[in-house]
Copies of this chain bind each other. A is one copy, B any other.
Amino acid sequence: MATKTPITVAYGDGIGPEIMEATLRILAEAGAQLDIERIEIGEKVYLAGNPAGIEPGAFDSLRRTKVFLKAPITTPQGGGYKSLNVTVRKTFGLYANVRPCVSYHPFVETKHPVMDVVIVRENEEDVYGGIEYRQTGQVTQCLKLISRPGTEKIVRYAFEYARRNGRKKVTCFTKDNIMKITDGLFHKVFDEIASEYADIENEHWIVDIGAAKLSDTPENFDVVVLPNLYGDVLSDVAAQIAGSVGLAGSANIGESIAMFEAIHGSAPRRAGQNLANPSGLFLGAVMMLVHLGQTEVAERAHNAWLRTMEDGVHTYDIYKEGVSREKVGTREFAEAVVARLGRRPETLKAVSYKAGGGEAAFATRMAREAAAAAKELTGVDVYLDWKDGSAEQLGGAMENLAGDGLHISSIANRGVKVWPGGAAETFCSDHWRCRFRSESGGRVTHAQVASLLARAAEAGFDFIKTENLYDFDGQPGYSHAQE
């Protein structure tokens, strides 16, 4: 512990500098061994012409220290600015967002007195690639991507987190009753990896019911692992119902680099008044200490903070007459925590961090490679922008376009089969999916797909996109339209 560990620190905007100073003050007094490299991020850096709010040179510091403690920033008004968090997350592959949501009843008001949930959110995939297309007058499209290696990483992270933190259960939410291929993959990988952790209970809920249970009876959950979008929504729900978003920190974990922060924003209107609650950033910093293996310091600091909460020494945001005892500013709050270093909470549960329980130990563990499956091209979906008639008429036109070993097998609109057959009541947009298959029922070549498109171009059809149909090990790798 005598050697100082280099970390990169950014003070950010708004209340950022104050809560960072308070946080670093507690950490130093608690005995953290940190060698701080300071970088600039945020509003000034955006306005100086860096579209992601971070200077190119700052990335060098992150690559060197591999640990980033970040205060909230302000993104300037107006277009053209990119999210700093998204940039850092994507550049460094920070695949796991970890957010403990704890209630501190009866010291902080909450409708859920017993709540200690850790949300582990996949952070790179799903609809957050932001891969979007408008290809017809009426219809827009976003791609949701779920990969096996991405899912393996996040699910394994959740179980390792549970094991290292003495957690009993990992719950997974998906919507695989509808999205059998994408969410189905997430659920399948969850089951596979869960079977390697016999010491940890596991369960899966469909996300609608799961979300309802989580928001009503969070005491029934422990660690919850989620695809990106569900995780985004439900981590905010969990933090909110625990009592205050002002008290939550989070970690963004990658294979080589990790970032720690508060979940709240820079609150410019509270800036510079010694008002802000530093607890969110402080609890993020505690996660950082555990990550760095400085577990004794983390435990000492965290327990002193819990004791401060319990003693009713509260900043304005959680101060409540009759519950709180003393309303303090940012600096005084930090001093109150410092004064309690070495003490533990009496009513709230004290924390205990095991030595060697750092994240780094497994962060570089490679995801398993998917078993190679035999892949065969068996058809193609050609999507058209078309508004010249009925499904029946389009069916006829596509029959003319077929040939060269391909035939048209069905047409769907917004996922509903409309040809052959179809119901008169089905609303048809200008976005049509025409499914072509091998006439012989066998394999299709890429050259056949290219020729089909050449014929479509010649016939004047506006084909807007294609999706190849593959079998993997003889099983169709695509959905069928609802009939």
Contact = CB atoms under 8 A, between A and B. Distances in A.
A408 interface: no
Given A91-B426, A141-B145, A462 B446 contact: yes
Contact of A140 (B181, B212, B232, B254): B181
A414 B375 contact: no
A387 B233 CA distance: 34
A130 B91 contact: no
A137 B372 CA distance: 7
A446 B457 contact: yes
Contact of A425 (B147, B254, B445): B254
A150 interface: yes
Contact of A82 (B129, B431, B482): B482
B144 A127 contact: yes
A261 to B, nearest CB: 16
A183 to B, nearest CB: 8
Interface in A112-128: 112, 124-125, 127-128
A415 B143 CA distance: 10
A433 interface: yes
Residue among A175, A414, A416, A464 with max Cβ neighbours from chain B (10 Å): A414
Interface string A448-466: 0111011011100111111
A302 B162 CA distance: 48
A241 B465 CA distance: 43
A325 interface: no
Contact of A130 (B141, B179, B215, B426): B179
B133 A478 contact: yes
B135 A178 contact: no
A91 to B, nearest CB: 5
Nearest to A143: B141
Interface stretch (A304-312, A332-340, A346-354, A467-475): A467-475
A230 interface: yes
A92 B383 CA distance: 23
B147 A144 contact: no
A195 interface: no
Nearest to A462: B446
Given A425-B92, A427-B93, A212 B185 contact: no
Given A145-B141, A450-B450, A178 B370 contact: no
Interface in A410-441: 412, 414-416, 423, 425-427, 429, 431, 433
Interface residues of A, number: 111
Residue among A237, A373, A412 with max Cβ neighbours from chain B (10 Å): A237
A355 interface: no
A138 to B, nearest CB: 5
Contacts of A466: 465-466
A64 interface: no
Contacts of A449: 453, 457, 463
A397 interface: no
A267 interface: no
Nearest to A463: B446
A90 B478 contact: no
A360 interface: no
Contacts of A481: 131
A168 interface: no
A443 interface: no
B447 A137 contact: no
Contacts of A370: 137-138
Interface stretch (A1-9, A17-25, A28-36, A203-211): A203-211
A300 B421 CA distance: 44
Given A215-B215, A464-B470, 10 more contacts: A90-B426, A111-B216, A127-B144, A129-B415, A138-B148, A145-B414, A150-B427, A213-B240, A446-B461, A466-B466
Interface of A: 82, 86-87, 90-93, 95, 111-112, 124-125, 127-135, 137-150, 175, 178-183, 185, 207-209, 211-213, 215-216, 229-230, 232-237, 239-241, 245, 254-257, 370, 372-373, 375, 385, 412, 414-416, 423, 425-427, 429, 431, 433, 445-447, 449-451, 453-454, 456-458, 461-470, 472, 477-479, 481-483
